[in-house]
Amino acid sequence: LDWCLIQPKIELHAHLNGSVRDSTLLELARVLGEKGVIDFTAVESVISKDDRSLVECFRLFDLIHVLTTDHATVTRITKEVIEDFASENIVYVELRTTPKKNAVIGMTKRSYMEAVISGLKSIDSVDVDFIPSGKGRQNSSTALACDGMSNGTVRKKIYVRLLLSIDRRETTAAAMETVQLALEMRDLGVVGIDLSGNPVIGEWATFLPALKFAKEQGLAITLHCGEVPDRKEEISAMLDFLPQRIGHACFIKDEERIKLKSSKIPVEICLTSNIRTERFPSLEYHHFIDLYKSKHPMVLCTDDTGVFSTTLSREYSLAASAFGLGRKEMFELTRSAIEFVFADDGVKISLREIFDATTKNFM
Ligand code: 5GP
């Protein structure tokens, strides 16, 4: 479906290390294999595997982190991931990543994030807007520059904002450190906090103080919620916290569904990720259609383009065929996500202009 590629899109749930190109991972693995740090052949078969259970995914993330966690590589993968998103006409992306420490190579959470920022600055194939203007309205020429239908004479532009992830393996103090860092890096495009990591590890109470603090300080919050059947009433507690968005919400019981719908908390939907990790036997059972029919705010996202071998265009195409939606419906679905991006109103105005400028091609 060509129009899925051409239409401007908004990506609100993308993990940096889950979105690394396979070719880059293999190249990095080969180098570490030659140095004797890893067994390349074993790693190659893990990277090239297509279907993975949830447990295998988290093992893969640990492996990816071995390959990517040095400053130069973090800069490289950030650049590549944003270039890949821009190439499929994503006009706004919130990229999330877990700030990491590694004393052996002098990496702190701050220096990790500085490497991410260097990656954004190093992109020259498209214009990257990641520094909040602070002036409200953005330059109106952005509408043209971002038009996915441009004739090639106008440079593409992509808005990038960052979310810092708290990993469920972390302590309260570590989570608080991430929130502090996010506050210090607001001028560099950090707009919010994500809670992610293996959903069967960690307790909601451990992260709550840091999340509460982040919220009080005006950072936006998105939580991975309901990825596995509920543990210790966590889903209900998460909904009561009233985050600005949640991711997945696959395993929610009837009373939580009522709560979710009345709260109107937007849901980030990642179809391929949910199917690959066996949250649903097939798309026919996916809660997308229930949320869509009840006009619940939601947005289609990729989660991990690398790990799940997908793209946002592919997710649109999948949804269109699985749920019988046409290009008009899909265009409206993406456009509706402007209302729940975490960037300021100036960016929202620019995004509305971009979508308005291309409406005629999709309606
Ligand atoms: P990073 O934060 O290192 O840039 O991206 C990879 C990390 O994102 C993983 O280690 C994991 O913590 C988180 N992540 C990626 N995909 C998922 C997912 O589907 N569910 C959850 N809960 N966490 C994820």
Q: Is 42 exposed, middle or buried (CB count within 10 Å of its CB: 0-12, 13-18, 19+)?
A: exposed
In terms of Cα–Cα distance, which of 253, 296, 248, 289 is closest to 272?
248
The predicted-structure confidence for 324-349, as pLDDT tens digits, reads as follows 999 999 999 999 999 999 999 999 99
**88 in active site:** no
Name the β-bridge partners of 158. Answer: 128
Q: Report the atom number in ligand 1 closest to the C-alpha of 16.
A: 4
Please report the pLDDT score of residue 362 as a whole number. Answer: 74
* Contact by Cβ (8 Å): 159, 91: yes
* Contact by Cβ (8 Å): 343, 329: no
Task: Quote the CA–CA distance of 191 and 185 in Å, as a whole number.
Answer: 9
3-state SS assignment for residue 304:
coil
Protein residue whose Cα sits closest to atom 24 of ligand 1? 197
Q: How far is the CA of 166 from the centre of ligand 1 (A)?
A: 10
The predicted-structure confidence for 215-263, as pLDDT tens digits, reads as follows 999 999 999 999 999 888 999 999 999 999 999 999 999 999 999 999 9
* Contact by Cβ (8 Å): 130, 199: no
The predicted-structure confidence for 165-195, as pLDDT tens digits, reads as follows 999 999 999 999 999 999 999 999 999 999 9
In terms of Cα–Cα distance, which of 352, 301, 277 is closest to 85?
301
Please report the pLDDT score of residue 141 as a whole number. Answer: 43
Task: Quote the CA–CA distance of 266 and 256 in Å, as a whole number.
Answer: 14
Map tokens 């490497």 to a residue. Answer: 115
Ligand 1 binding pocket (C-beta < 6 A) is 15-18, 61, 97-98, 165, 167, 196-197, 199, 224, 227, 273, 303-304
Query: Of these residues, 80, 94, 227, 268, which one is catalytic?
Result: 227
Please report the pLDDT score of residue 52 as a whole number. Answer: 78
Q: Report the atom number in ligand 1 closest to the C-alpha of 307.
A: 16
Q: Is 360 exposed, middle or buried (CB count within 10 Å of its CB: 0-12, 13-18, 19+)?
A: exposed
Please report the pLDDT score of residue 136 as a whole number. Answer: 43
Q: How far is the CA of 145 from the centre of ligand 1 (A)?
A: 32
Q: Which stretches of the chain score pLDDT less than 50?
A: 135-150
Please report the pLDDT score of residue 50 as a whole number. Answer: 74
Burial 50-70 (b: 16+ CB within 10 A, else e): eebebeebbebbebbeebbbb
Residue of 16, 17, 25, 234 with the most ligand 1 atoms within 8 Å of its CB, for mutation: 17
* Contact by Cβ (8 Å): 120, 159: no
Complex ipTM > 0.90: yes
How far, in Å, are 13, 256, 292 from residue 241 at the CA level?
20, 13, 23
Element spanning 11, H or E:
strand 9-15
* Contact by Cβ (8 Å): 226, 251: yes
Question: Percent of the chain, pLDDT > 70?
Answer: 94
Protein residue whose Cα sits closest to atom 5 of ligand 1? 17
Q: Report the atom number in ligand 1 closest to the C-alpha of 98.
A: 2
Name the β-bridge partners of 164. Answer: 97, 193
Please report the pLDDT score of residue 244 as a whole number. Answer: 98
